[in-house]
Amino acid sequence: MVDDMLRTPDAVRDAERWTAHNYHPLPVVISSAEGSWLTDVDGRRYLDCLAGYSALNFGHRHPQLIAAAHDQLDRLTLTSRAFIHDQFAVFCRELAQLCGKELVLPMNTGAEAVETAIKVARKWGYQVKGVPAGQANIVVAEGNFHGRTTTIVSFSTDADARDDFGPYTPGFTVVPYGDLDALTAAIDDHTVAVLIEPIQGEQGVVVPPEGYLPGVRRVCTERNVLFLADEIQSGLGRTGETFACAHEGVVPDMYLLGKALGGGIVPVSAVAANADVLGVLKPGQHGSTFGGNPLACAVATEVVRLLATGEFQRRSAELGERLHAGLRELLGRGLVAVRGRGLWAGLDIDPALMTGRQACERLMERGILAKDTHGSTIRLAPPLVITAEEIDHALAQLAAVLDPAASA
């Protein structure tokens, strides 16, 4: 097709004309998708190697999830929590069972799950632990990403996320990620929780040193502090286990879930914890009009059922081996570091070659969609339905992009 017949340039210009520039998307305009593949407005196909930042763990339009959504759309979509609907208990029960916890509190976005966890931890601190009023403190990690609310960006260490959004919410202490001594030293009698990602996604898929998560668990138990694990990006099969914490046999006091819980169809988030923690909330103290709505529950119940089969965790573990083996081959051939677990990888490109953004643009030209983060890092998080051949295809395109002769 000749260039001036393409629809993409106008569609990109239109999107920029009518929105705040709070994102810097790749110049591709998607109009349909299935499984691991996306099609743009000009009919070009791309292998999705981002999966909506892990919101599409089951691929685009998974038939079981689409069927559940259609079925629910035909019956009941919203009641608010003023009334109980028939999808609510089944979702909460099955998610609680998947998490091995007694209770669930559904919300919508990941940031709302994080806000829920912060509120519950503070209330637990005052009512159960006996922290003096207004003194509760939560320990968090440098390089964190937990969302975009004013409270959450208050403890971000990323200038873009935080600067000029003050005044900031007090009550957070930031310590280096992966440093158990620093975390232990930061805990005092007013500490109600430690909030961390078991693998830091936005930071570039940073896996903490072995023993860190069990150490956090031990210290939290010893000091009567809640361990809040933000598994919004790392959880629900992404790393080869249902939860990234499970790689080291760690069970936090609360799981924070989102992204893939909505099956790539609706925003669904939740926190899961036992009754001694979530039981501190009483009517009127927290909620959301859309949280736990019938459509969300119907889709998310099927997500939980897909995960209960173990198939997606298995695929992620097995295919993740293949992905990481292929990426390791590129170390010294354009890549300077590779991190991650399962079908989740952070790659640092040799900055002398190109930026992460340039690499993603060149990958896009070769039919692979991925996204850069922090300068020279690219994150790969394909749908867990990706095949071995598709992984090999993505690796071959990456190798070609990194080869200076090919990408000159």
Ligand X SMILES: Cc1ncc(COP(=O)(O)O)c(C=O)c1O
Rounded to whole angstroms, how far apart are CA atoms 326 and 305? 31
Site mask, ligand X, residues 213-242, x = CB under 6 A? Answer: -----------------x-xx---------
Q: Decide the pairing of beta strands 335-340 and 30-34.
A: unpaired
Nearer to ligand X, 99 or 114 (CB): 114
Smaller CB distance to ligand X: residue 36 or 116?
116
Span of 77-85, 142-150, 174-182, 309-317 interacting with ligand X by CB under 6 A: 142-150
Output 202 or 241, the one with its CB closest to ligand X: 202
The b/e string for 10-43 (b: 16+ C-beta within 10 A; e otherwise) is ebbeeeeeeeeeeeeebebbeeebebbbbebbee
Position 53 contacts ligand X (CB under 6 A):
yes
Contact 104, 88 (CB under 8 A): no
Is 124 a residue that touches ligand X (CB under 6 A)?
no
Considering only residues 243-262, where is the footprint of ligand X by CB under 6 A? Answer: 258
CB of residue 146 to ligand X, shortest distance in Å: 5
- For residue 32, what are the β-bridge partners? 39
Size of the site for ligand X (CB under 6 A): 15
Instruction: Quote the least distance from Cβ 216 to ligand X, whole Å.
Output: 16
Binding part of the chain for ligand X, among 196-204, 245-253, 308-316, 369-377 by CB under 6 A, reads: 196-204
Q: Is 197 in the site for ligand X (CB under 6 A)?
A: yes
Q: Which residues are part of the catalytic machinery? A: 145, 230, 259
By beta-carbon proximity to ligand X, the closer residue of 178 and 258 is 258
Conformational region of residue 372, where left means phi above 0, alpha means psi within -120 to 50, and beta covers everything else: beta
**Closest approach of ligand X to the CB of residue 2, in Å:** 39
> Does position 201 bind ligand X by CB under 6 A?
yes
- Find residue 231's DSSP bridge partners: none
**C-alpha–C-alpha distance, residues 126 and 192, integer Å:** 9
377 bridge partner residues: 348, 373
Report d(CA 194, CA 245) in Å as an integer. Answer: 14
Q: How far is the CB of 134 from ligand X (least distance, A)?
A: 26
Alpha carbon 113 to its chain centroid, in Å, reads: 12
Q: Give the alpha-carbon dihedral of 309, 312, 315, 316, to 10 degrees.
A: -140
Q: Does 145 bind ligand X (CB under 6 A)?
A: yes
User: Closer to ligand X at the Cβ: 258 or 294?
Assistant: 258
What's the closest the beta carbon of residue 147 comes to ligand X, in angstroms?
A: 4
Say if residues 114 and 230 touch (Cβ distance below 8 Å): yes
Q: Is 115 a binder of ligand X (CB under 6 A)?
A: no
Q: Helix, strand, coil shares of the chain as percentages rounded to 5?
A: 40, 20, 40
| Residue 147 interacting with ligand X (CB under 6 A) | yes
* 114 lies in the site for ligand X, by CB under 6 A: yes
> Under the rule (CB under 6 A), what is the footprint of ligand X?
53, 109-111, 114, 145-147, 197, 201-202, 230, 232-233, 258
